Amino acid sequence: MNAVNVYFRLNAFSVIEPLIACATILLLVYALFIYYYHRIWDRIPDSAPDLSCQPLPVSVIIPARNEAAHIQDCLLSLFNQSYPTALTDILVVNDFSTDETAELVKRYSDKCRLLNLSDHLNDPVNSYKKKAIETGIAHSSAELIICTDADCTMGKDWILSLVSTYQKENRVFIAAPVKIIPDGSALSIFQTLDFISLQGITGAAVYKNLYPMCNGANLAYSRNAFETVGGFTNIDHIASGDDMLLMKKIQSDFPGRTGYVKDSRAVVSTRSASTIRAFFSQRIRWASKISHYNHPATFFTLAWVYTLNLSLLLLFIACFFYGHWKWLLLLLACKTISEYFFVSKVAGFFGQQSLMKYFILCQPFHIIYTVIAGGFGSFGRYEWKNRKVK
């Protein structure tokens, strides 16, 4: 054996072995996390609307920017609710749309209200969505505020399910399930499976009060709670976080009064991002909130997941130079198995278990996307709704 080969083998040992050891330790703890989430998800009681609950006034707030392609479907699903129409105030807040969003909403002026954010905002802000929600709430009077997005649709018992949970469980903040409807493309299937896992973790985290997790496409909270914490004060400079950062504020002032509704009637459906660029912009926007949480459990969990994926990516690159592919394949198999049964269970709740046949194929891409989105979410800028924000 010549000196070059000896050097190469020693160098391979010094690079590969620590990566394998690091990834193995990270993966073992990660698998325990997933197992824990799986057990909690199984323990979340299935909710069912209480048909005897006393109806109360609700305000549905819909921020909308350039949503001409979707806003009518959203409104029609809201007009078709089983909840009393007389107690439902639907407000669409037009966020400086440059398409026909406002004109389409005006067609239904007898069933909903249109507010133009341009009439209530004089200076530029970094979070137009928070300002839109805040404006909608200021022009409503209902006890219960329900928020959704303009590209969402919902079943006829959606409002009833949220109101029932609000009353039965004495909640002041309710996180509710969201599902992506894939269009059949590989990108949409990848997004759907990724989103299913996020929804499962959301349900587990909220049910066990581990850390604040929710999605702004499906939220309900009391007006009193929103006003007590000062609304978006002190977080209004952050582009994202109209959901989770608000939830964190309310959790602090109302401990034990936030909850998750595990009810198929409470699900809202949305579409996947149509392009890879739009997908990464969305995920980077979500990741950008993390640095503002100041919540140790959230930071530790996400940092662990990010480091695991980064170590697997680095190990993949190192294998091209030093070999040891069997170790990488073994670790990937263990990661896939640890996630599969949990994601499959949550997919069953959303009626999307048929997508699990693509789960293994998505694994390598999921690692790469997690590293990229996490990195840019912490340090970069992103574009959302044709606006560049940080």
For the stretch 75-95, pLDDT in tens is: 999 999 999 999 999 999 999
d(C-alpha 313, C-alpha 307), whole Å: 10
Res 333 pLDDT > 90: yes
Which residues, in sequence order, are bridge partners of residue 91? 61, 113
In terms of average pLDDT, the best of 41-50, 113-122, 278-287, 298-307 is: 113-122
| Predicted pLDDT at 49 | 67
Q: Give the pLDDT band (50/70/90) at residue 389.
A: low
Q: What is the mean pLDDT of the chain?
A: 89
Q: In terms of pLDDT, which residue wins out, 35 or 2?
A: 35
For the stretch 213-243, pLDDT in tens is: 999 999 999 999 999 999 999 888 887 778 9
Q: In terms of pLDDT, which residue wins out, 225 or 8?
A: 225
* Joined tokens for residue 162: 């949220």
What CATH topology corresponds to 58-282?
Spore Coat Polysaccharide Biosynthesis Protein SpsA; Chain A (3.90.550)
Which residues, in sequence order, are bridge partners of residue 93? 63, 115
The secondary structure of 248-275 as a DSSP string is: HHHHHHSTT-EEE---GGG-EEEEPPSS
Q: Give the pLDDT band (50/70/90) at residue 127.
A: confident
Which residues, in sequence order, are bridge partners of residue 114? 92
Q: In terms of pLDDT, which residue wins out, 87 or 327?
A: 87
Q: Give the pLDDT band (50/70/90) at residue 274.
A: confident
209, amino acid identity: N
| Predicted pLDDT at 4 | 41
| Predicted pLDDT at 379 | 57
Q: Mean pLDDT throughout 256-285? A: 90
The residues of the chain that CATH labels 3.90.550.10 are 58-282
d(C-alpha 238, C-alpha 236), whole Å: 5
Structural Rg of the chain based on CA atoms: 23
* Joined tokens for residue 18: 């620590």
d(C-alpha 303, C-alpha 154), whole Å: 34
For the stretch 160-210, pLDDT in tens is: 999 999 998 889 999 999 999 999 999 999 999 999 999 999 999 999 998
Decide: helix, strand or coil at residue 283.
Answer: helix
* Joined tokens for residue 71: 């806003």
| Predicted pLDDT at 290 | 66
| Predicted pLDDT at 2 | 55
| Predicted pLDDT at 59 | 98
d(C-alpha 99, C-alpha 115), whole Å: 15
Percent residues over pLDDT 70 in the chain: 89
d(C-alpha 8, C-alpha 14), whole Å: 10
Query: Can you give the pTM of this predicted structure?
Result: 0.90
Percent residues over pLDDT 90 in the chain: 68
Q: What is each CA distance from 268 to 55, 134, 150, 283, 370, in whole angstroms?
A: 21, 22, 11, 19, 25
